[in-house]
Structure 1
Amino acid sequence: MDNTTTSPRLVIIDYQDLVSSDIDLSIQLDRAFGGRNHSSSLPPNDDDKDELSPLGIIAIRNVPNFVDAKMKFLPLAHPLAHLETEYLERQLSDPKSLYNAGWSHGKEKLGDQPDFAKASYYFNPVTDTPGTSEERERYPASYPCNKWPNEAELPQLTNFKDAAKHLGTIMHEVVVLLAKRIDAMTTNRVKGYTSNLLFDAMKTTEKVKGRLLYYYPLEENGHTTNNDITAKEDTWIGWHNDSGFLTSLAGDLYVNDSTGELLDEQDVDSEAGLYVIDRSGKSIHVTIPPDCMAVQIGECLQILTGGVVVATPHCVRGPRAGWNPQSTIKVARISHPCFIDSKPTFPLCMPEGCSREDVSRAGSGMGKVPPLEDRWIEDGMTFGDFLQKSFDKYYDWKG
């Protein structure tokens, strides 16, 4: 796989351009997110079309305070992941929310197998008690209350809560700005689109979920002796689409699992990291610049925009077995996506004048993810019902 063209293909915009009302970003958004039936900025019959095919992700540079907030929070994943298992399971886990708050390890599934390759710490950066008491009772996975570590007992996690909320709030605010731009682009292309639909939903939502991820060294899962497994692209997290609205990404860090020390580029397999399927069906390795925040599209936006923007299948690949025989470092990865979604009762309706075919044909899962039309079974299906249907399909998916 040739990864040398990855960086030039990633669309990068400046934060000041995002906030400026004088700058039209429609072309950049189309090149980042456009579907196969809507990408007007792509040449229809050009030999270089594949090289311009949208990756489904955009990077934003110069977001105020982002880099500092990222570097204060992400490294705390290492001491968190190395706390006593009993403390993590008894004090920081939340079975009532189906482990959508606090610590989660081995609770999610890949097919019919528990996923032990990574652990997650979930939190809501905008409020500790989202929704009403009735909503929390009815939708425990969507509106869980936060479970924070006791920093007085855990000096290695000093300022954990403040750092988590600060980074997550920044990422939410940038997504709200981007949502307004997606609204504008879609309004210009689809007659039946409701103006400011996405912006209003993202600005007022309390369903914001930060996910601090710690990917354990693959050798701890018995992968070093299995070349078939370590040759796969999705060893750290399997191929999937984000099923929600917008996902902000803080990029990643690689650390020595034994010490927590940040690793230099030469200590990490160059083929490890995030992969996406572009609109031409190619698997592409994407590296988010360390000074950039990034945003991905979820499947709900593919529905709401009638396919103007499209969710992109993605996965995370771990280091290949034996990629550096001289190294004894156990490489771990840290990342922090933040999922910004609507209320569970939000109806997923395509714009007037669009068809289910418009929505489904805009993207291409290339067999990597369950087809959207098998989960979005009717126009107007609520986000909560769609999410549950997607969970069920992914757990049984053998793609």
Structure 2
Amino acid sequence: MVVDIPYSALVDPAADISAQLEEAYGPAGLGILTVSGVTRFPELRRKLLPLAARVAALPAAARAQLEDPTSHFNIGWSCGRETLEGGQPDTRKGSFYANPLHDDPVPGHSDLQRRYPAYCAPNLWPHDDLPQLEGAVKALGQLIMEVGLLLARHCDMYCSTRGGYPPRLHDILQQSPCPKARLLHYFAPVSETSGSGRAPSQQWCGWHTDHGSLTGLCSALYLDAAGQPTACPDPQAGLHVRDRSGKVTQVAIPADSIGFQIGEAMQIQSGGLLRGTPHCVVAPRQDLSAGISRNTFAVFMQPRWDCPVDLPAGARPEDVGIGQWRPGLDFGSFSTLTFESYYK
């Protein structure tokens, strides 16, 4: 059961949601919770998610104009650039990345764009081919961030109470000019039937843990071959999370709620009090889902590139458990180590 926190509790600075945070983000938690009751969210979600399929269907030449290799394809269009287990290119999904706050997060600083292109590169928008995309991404992305910052403030209160750590998680995110929004289109599964005529399950997105601080997630929108909304055709498809005991749990985010997952940077900066979990997206079986795609949206709230990814005073490195992390890294360096494991 996924923990849900009403928006009315988040906006109340005196509300005590520490028990819910511990259940969701503590050592035995799933690393994810939902926030319900955000008034403008359902409408903005309905406007944006169908555009994921339209970006993926743009002519090849138009999509090529939206690619940015210098940012590790972390701006604009990306498809087949990440690698799956075994080193195979991931062509099962296409992504459109943008900074929802700033079209140019570091104006006049070409040196930072060269050094930290994944965070400092300017946005690329399909103004001619899909002009409504920019406004839709920014509107939903900024709303998710507003809610995420409220959640981060409560996370600070939780860490102060549980670990005696000074509050800083909210300020780290509020002061960062480089959040990243990702609009995702998971292509209809390719037919790979077994001898019984029933296709084995495929992963639309392989197992991974987000390396940022806090990831805001929308419930997915499934579209049929005609581009019309449809129900998820396979009850086993969708987001799956592996907790620290190794148990895998399917997570369903209600269509009118926002999911928030803990990332590795916040796990470190909270001294391990807040913990992320590996997760993947399982595609529906082909025999149940011919022509059906999945469309969703995530906002990665993360520190500035030069923010130290460090432990709070009194925390121990062994409490963190992040493989690529070591003391002394800033977020830019920490991210580079992560990207090198995912991208060609």
TM-score, normalization: structure 2? Answer: 0.94
- Does the 8 A contact of 2:218 with 2:259 survive in 1? yes
**CA distance in 1: counterparts of 2:18 and 2:283, whole angstroms:** 34
CA offsets, 1:10-57, max 9 Å, x none? 10111111011231010011111112xxxxxxxxxxxxxxxxx41110
Q: Is the counterpart of residue 318 in structure 1 residue 283 in structure 2?
A: yes
Gaps of 5+ in 1: 1-8, 36-52, 361-371
Q: Is the counterpart of residue 79 in structure 1 residue 54 in structure 2?
A: yes
Structure 2 counterpart of 1:367: none
CA offsets, 1:107-153, max 9 Å, x none? 121142211000000011101001241322221111121111124xx
2:214 to 215, 224, 246: 246
1:1-399 to 2 correspondences below 5 Å: 9-35=1-27, 53-89=28-64, 91-111=65-85, 112-132=87-107, 133=109, 134-151=111-128, 154=129, 157-191=130-164, 193-195=165-167, 197-219=168-190, 223-224=192-193, 231-232=200-201, 235-256=203-224, 258-265=225-232, 268-322=233-287, 324=288, 329-360=290-321, 372=322, 374-376=323-325, 378-394=326-342
**CA distance in 1: counterparts of 2:29 and 2:59, whole angstroms:** 43
**CA distance in 1: counterparts of 2:72 and 2:343, whole angstroms:** 14
CA offsets, 1:358-392, max 9 Å, x none? 222xxxxxxxxxxx2x311x223111111111223
- Does the 8 A contact of 1:110 with 1:395 survive in 2? no
Amino acid at match of 1:262: P
**CA distance in 2: counterparts of 1:271 and 1:240, whole angstroms:** 19
Amino acid at match of 1:143: C
Gaps of 5+ in 2: none
CA offsets, 1:267-304, max 9 Å, x none? x1111100001233210111100110110000111111
Shift of the alpha carbon at 1:226? Answer: 8.7
**CA distance in 2: counterparts of 1:310 and 1:212, whole angstroms:** 25
Percentage of identical aligned residues? 39
CA 1:259–1:129 in structure 2 vs 1: closer, same or farther (change >3 Å)?
A: same
Amino acid at match of 2:62: Y
Amino acid at match of 1:315: C
CA 1:380–1:188 in structure 2 vs 1: closer, same or farther (change >3 Å)?
A: farther
Shift of the alpha carbon at 1:264? Answer: 2.6
Deviating 4+ runs (over 3 angstroms): 222-227, 229-232, 393-396
**CA distance in 2: counterparts of 1:344 and 1:298, whole angstroms:** 15
**CA distance in 1: counterparts of 2:60 and 2:242, whole angstroms:** 36
Query: How many pairs does the alignment contain?
Result: 341
**CA distance in 2: counterparts of 1:359 and 1:109, whole angstroms:** 26
